[in-house]
Amino acid sequence: MDVLIERFHLFFDGFLLTLQVCVVAGVLALAFGIVAAVCRISPIPPLRWLGTAYVTVFRNVPLTVVLFFTVFGLPIIGNRAEFLKIHGLDRLFPRLTIDLPYFRLVCLGLAIYTGAFVCEALRSGVNAVASGQSEAARALGLTFIQNLRYVVLPQAWKAAIVPLGTVLVAMAKNSALAGFFGLVGDLSATMQTLVSQEGEPLIPVMIGISFWYLLMTIPASLVLDTVERRRKLA
């Protein structure tokens, strides 16, 4: 059990790095998902096809394969996700601007994958709005954009928030793959270093790693459950 106390800083730093991956990938995933959802509900067929293709592909391919593509494939064609080197953000996320691309590439892969699920969550929200609502809006002469802006989206947002939260919690769990794709020092990489290289006993490491992951996922799930229950009563 000593490893938990002596190596506390290792676990804690790993937790912080995993949290950073989650925040960066989460923001990107929301962006991708919103764009894809807009494409999927737009009246323009090519955009709808594009959105549908994106969602179909990334919902049906394992995250592992997606990460192989982004982390090992992108550098081959000369892309090291330099566009994520945003100066000013490096105070919060120091790994964004360093030379090693793994942090950026892992975040990118995770975001592309999660974006498809975000899109589906948003679309399920739009679908949950009773069709009479937007029919009424159309009968009043609202345009497509007005219809979305004043009638559909405000209601869709409420229906989408729980699925969206579920998707983001799943992403936080999926971020554990980062440590197997070259990212140094996050929780899962720390676990491998401690167990495989330094030969620390398995059980204490297991308890420590589980604790930090559960610290992220269980409170989030509890909040989501509460929101869902309130929504049902209301």
Partner 1 sequence: MSRAEVDVELSLHTSRRRGRAPSASVLYDAPGPRARRTIWIGSALAAAVVLFLGWRFVYRPLEATGQFSLDLWGPFVDSSNNHCPGAVPHCFDQIWPRLGQGLLATLRAAGLAILASLVFGLALAGLRIQLKHLMTRRYRHLPAPLAWSARGLTVGLNGLTRVCVEVLRGMPVVITIFFVARGLPELGLPPQATMWYLVIGLTLYNAIVIAEVVRSGMEGLPKGQREAASSLGLSSTQTITLVLLPQAVRIMLPAIISQLVVVLKDTSLGFIISYNELLNIGKLAIQLLHNPLQMYFVIGLTYLAFNYALSRLADWTQRRLARGGV
Task: Tell me: does residue 59 bind partner 1 (CB under 8 A).
Answer: yes
Name which position in 206, 223, 226, 229 contacts partner 1 (CB under 8 A): 206
Closer to partner 1 by Cβ: residue 90 or 231: 231
φ, ψ of residue 142 in degrees (nearest 5): -70, 145
Task: Tell me: does residue 204 bind partner 1 (CB under 8 A).
Answer: no
Interface residues for partner 1 in 75-114 (CB under 8 A)? 76-79
Three-state SS annotation for the chain? CHHHHHCHHHHHHHHHHHHHHHHHHHHHHHHHHHHHHHHHHCCCHHHHHHHHHHHHHHHHCCHHHHHHHHHHHHHHHCCCCHHHCCCCHHHCCHHHCCCCCHHHHHHHHHHHHHHHHHHHHHHHHHHHCCHHHHHHHHHCCCCHHHHHHHHHHHHHHHHHHHHHHHHHHHHHHHHHHHHHCCCCCCHHHHHHHHHHHCCCCHHHHHHHHHHHHHHHHHHHHHHHHHHHHHHHHC
Name which position in 23, 34, 38, 50 contacts partner 1 (CB under 8 A): 50
Name which position in 86, 98, 214, 223 contacts partner 1 (CB under 8 A): 214
Q: Which tokens go with 190?
A: 């720390």
* Separation of alpha carbons 41 and 20, rounded Å: 32
Closer to partner 1 by Cβ: residue 92 or 203: 203
Name which position in 60, 82, 88, 91 contacts partner 1 (CB under 8 A): 60
- The length of the chain in residues reads 234
Task: Tell me: does residue 136 bind partner 1 (CB under 8 A).
Answer: no
Task: Tell me: does residue 233 bind partner 1 (CB under 8 A).
Answer: no
Name which position in 27, 65, 89, 100 contacts partner 1 (CB under 8 A): 65
Per-residue contact string for residues 8-47; x = within reach of partner 1 by CB under 8 A: ---------------------------------x-xxxxx
Closer to partner 1 by Cβ: residue 64 or 97: 64
Q: Which residues contribute to the site for partner 1 (CB under 8 A)? A: 41, 43-48, 50, 56-57, 59-65, 68-69, 72-73, 76-79, 126-127, 131, 134-135, 138, 144, 147-148, 152, 173-177, 180, 188, 191-192, 195, 202-203, 206, 209-210, 213-214, 217-218, 221
